[in-house]
Amino acid sequence: MRISKSKFVAGVQCLKRLYFEVHQPELATGATEAAEAVMEQGQQVGLEARKAFAGGVLVADDHEHLDDAIRATRELVGNAEVPAIFEAAFAYGSVLVRADVLERRSRSRYRLVEVKSSTAPKPHYAFDIGIQKLVLSGAGIHLEGTRLMHLNRNYVFDGQAYEVSRLFVTVEIPKEHAVGDAEISKRLDEQLRILGQPAPPDVKPGRQCEDPVLCEFYNHCNPGLPSDHVSVLPRIRSEKVDDLLASGILSVRQIPDDFPLSRTQRRVVDAMKSGKTWIGPDLARALASLRYPICFMDFETVFPALPRFAGLRPYDQLPFQWSVHRQERSGGPIQRHDYLAEDIADPRVPFLESLCRAVKGAGSIVVYNEGFESDRLDELLQWLPEYRSEITRIKAAMWDLLPVIRKNVYHPLFGGSYSLKSVLPALVPEMSYDGLAVMEGAQAGIAWGRFIDPATSAEEKAQLKQELLEYCGQDTLGLARILEVLRKLPRAPAS
Ligand code: SF4
């Protein structure tokens, strides 16, 4: 049996994951659109990184032609004229690896370069590099060192062409992450032993299921918990969950009155036991601070690894869509406004100018989790300082509904969460997110990428546009509807 670099790394995360990948891959949840987008982005980063190695040659044979890839690599290694090899393939013992870059340092000595689309080294990269080192050494390659090449978060794109020497940072694996050859060999032996067994190892789900990456067998090992499971309590520590489960208490409704909980957690327990909405004493006062006209505002962004426009850095958030619902007076009609960037041109100026028009003169601009919109406006101010007064006015009128709800309202159907996706359907049941083609921000970013792609058909574009407008508009109309519900809730006695 032969395992790959990625299987070895999966096995470091969890031996059961490795076992499933090799013997029962059908148990995996299919790659999500988001996971596919991350993979595609990683490939683009890899292509840029190769530009740092002029004259490098790619081993193009894919995973279905590995013997050809190994043969081609051997020929390139033997050709002293080749300064670098991309996707070099080596097999040693039971492991096969493809090296991102094998850089020739002298006639017979090389440096192994692992390319990552992250902006900093991460501990698990040491295993990635460690297994390659073991295989390359075993295959007779003299390595004079290994390097990690990752994106430079401080690199500012000039809008023309990437300066590859600054777009990336090349470093050694930090000492605190280093893993010795003996440890790599030990892990490999253990993995091969586990793979030879007739059944998967008995590994309980835990933190490793999401760290360092979300395991593709997560749904298999972590079947959905009931909505009243004790772990839904906000910010409950895992030791407390373990205590409750050990006492046979699975449901929030079974938690005894004297079990130590925070005030918020106790509020959730009480609401779920009674089935009644808890209303805090300060709700009416908080809502009284709203001023008309009221705008309900939401932004959508993407954060590409490779910056697309001047002034952007890797992973900077690029706003591409906003939605505003506007109400001029109490009880008056609610008007919808929106902006969606429709092509590959820089959306920042049209985004901001159209937004300024939509919220002009607003007394309060209601958002949900102010930090997000506020940070995006700060970034727009950095890129477009000529809009300082408009941005300052928008920020001054912003009014965050999230802390108001968190402090003053708990509905039994929030399920322990104050996210808009939980709060809106609980307070306004007719506004569920179920059935929307786009249901969350990452999906919106992917849909927008397809929408502006010149290769997308006009028919699909029209469909995507409708889905994006529907999704972003749902959030802001939802804020308006939540406000109506909150205003009708009975007043709690003053604190
Ligand atoms: S979900 Fe968790 S326990 Fe299951 S295979 Fe993945 S990492 Fe291992």
CATH code for the domain of 79: 3.90.320.10
Is residue 244 included in any domain, yes or no?
no
Model pLDDT for residues 423-454, shown as the tens digit of each residue: 999 999 999 888 788 888 888 999 999 999 99
Residue 35 and residue 154 in one domain: yes
- Mean local confidence (pLDDT), 164-168: 97
Q: Is residue 261 part of a domain?
A: no
Which has the closest alpha carbon to 441: 275, 317, 263, 288?
317
Q: Is the CB of 218 under 6 A from ligand 1?
A: yes
- What count of residues does the chain have? 495
Query: 15: Cβ below 6 Å to ligand 1?
Result: no
Q: To the nearest whole number, what is the mean pLDDT of the chain?
A: 94
- Domain-ending residue, one of 195, 226, 242: 195
Q: Where does a domain end: 171, 195, 219?
A: 195
The per-residue pLDDT for 84 is 98
Is the pLDDT at 201 greater than 90, yes or no? yes
Q: In the prediction, which pLDDT does 25 show?
A: 92
Nearest alpha-carbon partner for 99 in 71, 67, 73: 73
> How many DSSP H helices and E strands does the chain contain?
18, 14
Buried b (16+ CB within 10 A) or exposed e, 287-314: beebeebbbbbbbbbbebbbbebebbeb
Q: Does the C-beta of 234 come closer than 6 Å to ligand 1?
A: no
**pTM (predicted TM-score):** 0.89
Give the max Cα distance, the chain: 83
Confidence of residue 495 (pLDDT cuts 50, 70, 90): low
Of 7, 9, 13, 16, the one to substitute when testing ligand 1's pocket (max ligand atoms within 8 A of C-beta) is: 16
pLDDT of residue 200: 97
Q: Is the CB of 19 under 6 A from ligand 1?
A: no
Lowest mean pLDDT among 52-56, 306-310, 439-443: 439-443
Contacts of the segment 485-488: beta carbons below 8 A, 24+ positions apart: 485/427, 485/428, 486/283, 486/287, 486/404, 486/405, 486/409, 486/427, 487/287
Kindly compute the dihedral angle of the four CA atoms of residues 156, 346, 308, 440, in this order, to the nearest 10 degrees: 110
The answer, yes or no, to whether residue 494 has pLDDT greater than 70, is no
Residue type, 431: M
CB atoms within 10 A of CB 214: 13
**Looking at the domain assignment, is residue 254 inside a domain?**
no
- Rounded mean pLDDT, 228-238: 89
Considering the domain boundaries, does residue 408 fall inside one? Answer: yes
Domain region containing 108: 3-195
* pLDDT at res. 339: 97
Q: Phi and psi dihedrals of 346, rounded to 5?
A: -60, 120
Per residue in 99-139, pLDDT (tens digit) is 999 999 998 899 999 999 999 999 999 999 999 999 999 99
- Among 195, 227, 255, the domain boundary falls at 195
Query: Which of 118, 123, 96, 100 shows the shortest CA–CA distance to 110?
Result: 100
> Quick check: 310 and 158 in contact, CB under 8 A?
yes
Number of structural domains, the chain? 2
Mean pLDDT of 347-358: 98
Is 409 in contact with 266 (CB distance < 8 Å)?
no
The answer on 163 and 15 residing in a single domain is yes
